[in-house]
Amino acid sequence: MKTNMIVEPIIENDIHYLRELQPDGWPDIIPIFEHYLNIPFCRPIKVVIENKIVGIGTAILLNNSAWLAHIIVNTEFRRKGIGSLIVHHLLGNFKKIGFETISLIATDMGYPIYKKAGFKEQTEYVFFERKEPLKDYYRSKNVVQYTNTNIENIFFLDKIVTGEDRRVLLNDKLENSYVYQENGKLTGYYIPGLGEGLIIADNVEAGIELMKLRYSIINKGVLPIDNIEGIKFLKENGFLEIKRAKRMILGKEFSWQPGKVFNRIGGNLG
């Protein structure tokens, strides 16, 4: 007998039941989905079989691009087409809205599903970790606290590096952030409150100094394989590579500079 799968938006009453879908080794998905529910540009969905949530996923809609994120299937219901159903449902919504480019970070398990849906590999993210944060950190005089006078410069640099207009994503997370300024020009920024702590910099010096600040209290990070100098810094300071994950894209490709991303936001936004 064919199983009846229902796809619906996630609502607040669902949050408690998502605990059953928590993947091993992932950050707690409960606060993440609570966040998705409160953000107008996020569209979390669920797949329900016989009143049980067996799969979830989210569409994140930026101004000129979109992301698929947190596509998770209950371990007891895998290999039943639920992951593919979530992907195709979200992609259908993107087509209705008119997005030309959709990106995602693929787990090994999800990779075949995304490839079958037409996604192509774009680059790879490298995960690093060491036993404890770096000690003896001295902040560069060029690393200063963010003020709202920096906001347009951050938006500009972010778009030049990522190729995406992410104002709606960055705007609410800039408080308690840091920027790298040299001769009055902003050349990098670090946003601790955005995911895993986004670092973007226009040059290596700015990127490394902001990395030093982040790794003075954090012992793990992720950056694109294209960022040769960032990876070199981590290896020279005792960080070990623990895994990799592919970034994939569907639709119109856009120009971006992964070598200037010194730490990613997370698996949901690159």
What pLDDT does 135 receive?
Answer: 85
Q: Are residues 87 and 172 in the same domain?
A: no
Q: How many structural domains are present in the chain?
A: 2
| CB proximity list for 126: less than 8 A, separation 6 or greater | 222, 223, 224, 225, 231, 241, 244
Taking residues 95-123, report their average pLDDT. Answer: 93
- In the chain, the percentage of residues whose pLDDT exceeds 90 is 87
Distance of CA 5 to the CA centre of its chain: 28
Query: What CATH code is carried by the domain that includes residue 235?
Result: 3.40.630.90
pLDDT in tens, 134-148: 988 888 999 999 998
Residue 2 has pLDDT above 60, yes or no: no
Q: Are residues 21 and 71 in the same domain?
A: yes
Q: Residue 39 is part of which domain span?
A: 6-99
Residue 25 has pLDDT above 90, yes or no: no
User: What is the pLDDT confidence band of residue 1, given thresholds at 50, 70 and 90?
Assistant: very low
- Run of H or E including 246: strand 240-251
Distance of CA 228 to the CA centre of its chain: 20
Q: Are residues 95 and 133 in the same domain?
A: no
What pLDDT does 136 receive?
Answer: 81
Enter the pTM of the model: 0.94
- The answer to whether the Cα torsion of 142, 146, 148, 151 is positive or negative is positive
Query: What CATH code is carried by the domain that includes residue 66?
Result: 3.40.630.30
